[in-house]
Amino acid sequence: NPAKANYHPVDDACWRAGAPVPYLALARTLELIEATSARLKIIDILSNYFRSVIVLTPDDLLPSVYLCLNQLAPAYESLELGIAETYLMKAVGQCTGRTVPQLRASVARAGDLGLVAQSARSTQRTMFPAPPLSARSVLAALRDIARMTGHASVDKKIKKIQSLYIACRHSEARYLIRSLEGKLRIGLAEQSVLAALGAAAARTPPGGDCLDAAKGKTPDEFKAIVDEHVLTIKSVYCECPNYERVVPALLQEGLRGLAGRCRLQPGVPLKPMLAHPTKQLAHIFDRFENEQFTCEWKYDGERAQLHVPELEAGGGPDLSKAAIFSRNQENNTTKYPDVLGRLTSLLRPNVTSCVLDCEAVAYDVVNKQILPFQVLSTRKRKDASEADIKVQVCVFLFDLLFLNGEPLVRRPLLERRQLLREHFNEVPGEWQQATSRDCSSLEDVQQFLEEAVRGSCEGLMVKALAGPHAHYDIARRSHNWLKLKKDYLDGLGDTLDVVVVGAYRGRGKRAGVFGGFLLACYEPEHEQYQSLCKIGTGFSDEDLQNLTKQLQEHVIEAPRPYYSFDPQHSADVWLAAARVWEVRAADLSLSPAHRAAIGRVHPDKGISLRFPRFVRVRDDKTAEQATSAAQIADMYLAQDQVRNSTTAKTNMD
Ligand code: ATP
């Protein structure tokens, strides 16, 4: 029981040294985590489990990390599960003698197929029990399932799922089925897994014979050691978000060698730096009062992280291995064969390897003009052939993160920008440096913003240029980058990216298609999707037809137990939390019926959007990357009318 105080990584583990880690050991750990809400306790439980793995079966640390994150491989390998619920029901039903409708009814009661599968399995006898599952065998089987493609793959997947399911004991079935569904739902965030890894390595250092390094140290001394480990692992993972590199390096080198072995390198996409919205020009000067900053045009396209590794033999760039990754580290290389085909014109002879942060923007080559994002989104998303490409793309370079074998993320933007200008060519309409100006007055910024808008851009990015805040803040939504969109200035701080969780059938002119939708924001603390508003405006007829079609694959029987909404908003058709839309609104208001950010601003009222309008589909965001409840609460509080009334109230008090 890894929740035990003074857990002993050998005596308290349920397997022997060198044996594969039983999947049951992991499932029990997940069960404990699921029953715990305190984040520190969760980290403690998981780190005890990791300590046992480090001491007894270090090779299983990587499968354990993947399984508790419900990941199969690094994001850029795009290996995903997420098997349709009906197929999972078929697999469970065939093993337990239940029909799909019976299972559906049980799921409606229990709220979760994982729990139903667990209880169905526990009431079933097996004549010849299958050998117990191990963490590594389950991960290998899940990877096999994810890789099955083609005609007969559904049947093959169902068979493989059945063979796993039949071997499940106790809560294994619950987590196996949830993994297959694509969501563990135990409230375990990636940051907590990293913290648990760091804490485990601090207490039971890999490769040594010390089982409890806390012994003989004061709590404060030991806490400092743990903090250092956690910080190191988190920052190493930011630079090299690939557990296949980080976990073995941790096991072999311990904390000390970790940063040296896992540095940023071409081929492994890093999580990008993001910006904070600003509503008023004056805020820029509040933020960068005594700091040098620069303004760049904010292009409206798709983020493109361009990686060019060095030839194995050295001496020059290996263009055949160049790759483009999305904002979410997905591999977009086959989407942009045209862009990669013209790399030679970009790289000057003094470049052997690089990682560039860029925006790919649709471009009208004849009229030499930037085109709206909507045009870019009509490009094929994968396996595009150069001959078929109709929408041309110009890549705007705005940052240089790695050059000739050296990560640059810790250097100030001023230096990175200088290197960017010195090492890369501009080719009009193909490769261009982001237009920038180091403004010094409010009028300058205002004028530059107007120029950006006339140049078909969304607005400006304002960035710390020199000084202590001008490094590249990997994976952070940072105050060192501010975004200023033209429509921020009079409306809400930003558009919102929200999750579509339900749909309402259209009537009259909209009969036959969905006419309205229920939108939600994500609350990571409770892993909930909280209703934010209904929306029916901003859609063209064509939009509604396309969206109705697109959403069909996400239709589910009943709302998920982790959807929080008022019954008055019950949808005609419920949808799995999969699609993210960008919406605009007049403002945010407190709502007795909607649940977004409930408890953050008001104890029992949520926040809702007034006059929401659909802007576009955000294919580059996952549901968990939608605007969070905390961001919604911040946006609500930042509204002038709310701020003024709070200030007035405080003054009266
Ligand atoms: P948004 O809806 O504003 O694109 P986001 O959450 O995708 O939001 P933000 O950090 O809020 O990302 O805005 C930054 C995005 O703007 C980047 O992800 C990038 O794709 C785009 N962008 C365009 N021009 C620039 C630029 N000059 N510098 C940085 N990012 C830029």
Indicate whether 653 pLDDT > 60.
no
Instruction: Tell me the CA–centroid distance for residue 518 and ligand 1, in Å.
Output: 26
Indicate whether 208 pLDDT > 90.
no
Active site residues: 298
Instruction: Tell me the CA–centroid distance for residue 73 and ligand 1, in Å.
Output: 26
pTM of the model: 0.76
Three-state secondary structure readout of 397-446: EEEEEEECCEECCCCCHHHHHHHHHHHECCECCCEEECCEECCCCHHHHH
303 lines ligand 1 (CB under 6 A): yes
Place of tokens 């919205």: 277
Reference 395, options 414, 420, 415; nearest CA is 420
DSSP calls for 474-535: TT-EEEEEEEEEGGGTTS-SS-EEEEEEEEEE--GGGTTSEEEEEEEEEETTTTEEEEEEEE
Cβ neighbours of 321 (radius 10 Å):
16
pLDDT band at 640 (very low <50, low <70, confident <90, very high): low
473 lines ligand 1 (CB under 6 A): no
Nearest protein Cα to ligand 1, atom 12: 274
Q: What is the pLDDT of residues 105-150, one digit of tens each?
A: 998 888 789 999 999 887 766 666 788 999 999 999 999 999 998 8
User: Do 273 and 475 touch, CB atoms closer than 8 A?
Assistant: yes
Helix count and strand count (H, E) for the chain: 21, 22
| Mean pLDDT over the full length of the chain | 90
Helix axes 39-56, 190-203, angle to 10 degrees: 50
310 lines ligand 1 (CB under 6 A): no
Instruction: Tell me the CA–centroid distance for residue 17 and ligand 1, in Å.
Output: 49
Q: What does the pLDDT read at residue 650?
A: 41
Indicate whether 652 pLDDT > 50.
no
d(CA 198, CA 211) in angstroms, rounded, equals: 15
Q: What does the pLDDT read at residue 645?
A: 61
Place of tokens 């009814």: 105
Kindly list the distances between the CA atom of residue 444 and the CA atoms of 97, 287, 451, 562, in Å, as whole numbers in the listed order.
Answer: 72, 16, 11, 48
User: Do 53 and 15 touch, CB atoms closer than 8 A?
Assistant: no
d(CA 264, CA 384) in angstroms, rounded, equals: 29
Helix axes 153-166, 172-181, angle to 10 degrees: 160
Query: Residue 463: enclosing H or E segment and its boundaries?
Result: strand 459-464
Q: What does the pLDDT read at residue 490?
A: 52
Instruction: Tell me the CA–centroid distance for residue 99 and ligand 1, in Å.
Output: 48
d(CA 608, CA 591) in angstroms, rounded, equals: 6
d(CA 534, CA 466) in angstroms, rounded, equals: 44
Q: Are strands 580-584 and 606-610 parallel, antiparallel or unpaired?
A: unpaired
d(CA 631, CA 271) in angstroms, rounded, equals: 19
pLDDT band at 648 (very low <50, low <70, confident <90, very high): very low
458 lines ligand 1 (CB under 6 A): no
Atom of ligand 1 nearest to the CA of 300: 23
Atom of ligand 1 nearest to the CA of 497: 2
Beta bridge partners of 407: 402
ipTM given for this complex:
0.96
Q: What is the pLDDT of residues 297-327, one digit of tens each?
A: 999 999 999 999 999 999 899 999 999 999 9
413 lines ligand 1 (CB under 6 A): no
d(CA 629, CA 388) in angstroms, rounded, equals: 42
User: Do 575 and 590 touch, CB atoms closer than 8 A?
Assistant: no
Q: 37 Cβ partners below 8 Å, 6+ apart? A: 187
259 lines ligand 1 (CB under 6 A): no
Instruction: Tell me the CA–centroid distance for residue 275 and ligand 1, in Å.
Output: 7
Nearest protein Cα to ligand 1, atom 19: 303
560 lines ligand 1 (CB under 6 A): no
Q: What does the pLDDT read at residue 189?
A: 84
Instruction: Tell me the CA–centroid distance for residue 387 and ligand 1, in Å.
Output: 30
Q: What is the pLDDT of residues 389-444, one digit of tens each?
A: 889 999 999 999 999 999 999 999 999 999 999 999 999 999 999 999 999 888 88
d(CA 338, CA 389) in angstroms, rounded, equals: 8
d(CA 243, CA 39) in angstroms, rounded, equals: 22
Indicate whether 647 pLDDT > 50.
no
d(CA 198, CA 259) in angstroms, rounded, equals: 13
pLDDT band at 644 (very low <50, low <70, confident <90, very high): low
Pocket test for ligand 1, best of 270, 276, 296, 298 (most atoms within 8 A of CB): 298
Q: What does the pLDDT read at residue 193?
A: 95
Q: What does the pLDDT read at residue 152?
A: 83
Atom of ligand 1 nearest to the CA of 436: 27
483 lines ligand 1 (CB under 6 A): yes
Q: 5 Cβ partners below 8 Å, 6+ apart? A: none
488 lines ligand 1 (CB under 6 A): no
Q: What 3-state DSSP class applies to 148?
A: coil
d(CA 588, CA 494) in angstroms, rounded, equals: 11
Cβ neighbours of 539 (radius 10 Å):
21
**% of the chain residues with pLDDT over 70:** 96
Instruction: Tell me the CA–centroid distance for residue 458 and ligand 1, in Å.
Output: 10
Atom of ligand 1 nearest to the CA of 302: 20
Indicate whether 494 pLDDT > 80.
no
d(CA 565, CA 493) in angstroms, rounded, equals: 25
d(CA 335, CA 385) in angstroms, rounded, equals: 8
Q: What does the pLDDT read at residue 386?
A: 84
